[in-house]
Amino acid sequence: MTTSQAFTSAFHEHDPRWNAVDEYAFGHSHPSTRPNTEALRHALENSQAAGLPDISASAAQAKYMALLIRAQGITHALEVGTLGAYTAIWLASENPGLHLTTVEFNSEHVKVARANIEHAGLTDRIELIEGAGIDVLPRLLEEVQAGKRPKLGFTFIDADKPNNWNYFDLAVQMSAPQAWVVVDNVVRQGKIVDLENLDPRFYGAREAIEKAGKDPRVDSVVIQTVGEKNYDGALWAVVR
C-alpha cells in the first residue's frame, strides 16, 4: 500500500463523539441565553441559505480566539477570508474594544457578510474590505508603515490556502510584538504529511508550518483539533 492509499482509507473517519462533546461542552460553556447567540445563529443560517460553503471556523475555535483577544486586551485584529462573517462576529461581539479588519475576495460572500454584520449591529467595528488578500494586505501594510493604521495584535488567516505564507509574512510585518498570527486548516485530516499528495492547499499548509518554524520573527506551534468540524488544526504563532 502506498502512503496515499493508507491515508485515503483513514480519511473517511469521523468519530461521532467529536460532535457529541462539542454539543455538550459548548452548550454549557456558551448557553443560548448569551447576547451574541442570535446574531451568530442568524449569520450561519443566512450564509447557508445563500449557498455559502459550510467551512467557517467552529463555534469553539472562534470563541477560543475571541477569548485570547480579550485576555491580551487586543484592540486591532485582521482576518483574511471573511466568508459570511461568522468568525468576525464572534471576535467583535465578545470584544467590545476590538476593531476588526476583514478581507474577502468573493463578492457574493461579501454581500452575505455585510448583511450578517449589519444584523449583528457591528458595522462600526468590523471593517470589511472586498478584494484579494494578496492585493489588499500590501496596501494595509503601507498604511501601517505610514502610521495611518495601528499595528495588529491578532491575525486569523483562513483564505486561499496556497497564499498562506504570503499572508503570514505580511501579517507579521503589520504586527506589534507579542501579536498572534493564526493560520487555519494546516492539518486537514492529517493529509499534510502525505507527501505524495500534491494538492496546493496541502502544500500551502506545509509551507506555512515549515517557514514559520525557521522565521526568526516568530515562535510557532501547530495544535491538532477534532470536533464538529472534523479533524484539522491551526498554526499558532506569536511575534517576538
Question: Which residues are near ligand DHB by CB under 6 A?
Answer: 55, 158, 184-185
Please give the single-letter amino acid code of residue 206: R
Q: Which of 108, 199, 105 is nearest to 160 (CA)?
A: 105
Phi/psi at 116 (nearest 5 deg)? -70, -40
Of these partners, ligand DHB, Mg ion, none, which one is at the site of residue 155 (CB under 5 to 8 Å by kind)? Answer: none
And the C-alpha cell for 19?
A: 460532535
CB of residue 184 vs ligand DHB: minimum separation in angstroms? 5
Q: How far apart are CA 171 and CA 181, in angstroms?
A: 7
Residue nearest Mg ion by beta-carbon distance: 184
Residues that bind Mg ion (CB under 5 A): 158, 184-185
In this structure, what C-alpha cell is assigned to residue 114?
455585510
Closest distance between Mg ion and the C-beta of residue 65, in Å? Answer: 12
Min dist CB 56 to Mg ion, Å, is: 7
DSSP-derived letter for residue 15 is: -
The nearer residue to ligand DHB, 180 or 202, going by C-beta atoms, is 202
Let me know if 85 is exposed, middle or buried by CB neighbors in 10 A (0-12, 13-18, 19+). Answer: buried
Residue nearest to ligand DHB (CB): 55
How near is the Cβ of 73 to Mg ion at its closest, in Å? 26
Select 109 or 149, whichever has its Cβ closest to ligand DHB. 109
CB-based contacts of 161: which residues, under 8 Å, 6+ apart? 185, 200, 201, 202, 204, 205
Cα Rg for the chain, rounded, in angstroms? 18
Nearer to Mg ion, 125 or 188 (CB): 188
Q: How far is the CB of 57 from ligand DHB (least distance, A)?
A: 6
| Total length of the chain | 240
Which residue type sits at 210?
E
Which residue, 60 or 144, has its beta carbon nearer to Mg ion? 60
Task: Identify which of residues 79 and 184 has a Cβ nearer to ligand DHB in the complex.
Answer: 184
Question: How much helix, strand and coil, in percent to the nearest 5, is found in the chain?
Answer: 50, 20, 30
Smallest separation, CB 201 to ligand DHB (Å): 7
For Mg ion, give the closer residue by CB, 158 or 194: 158
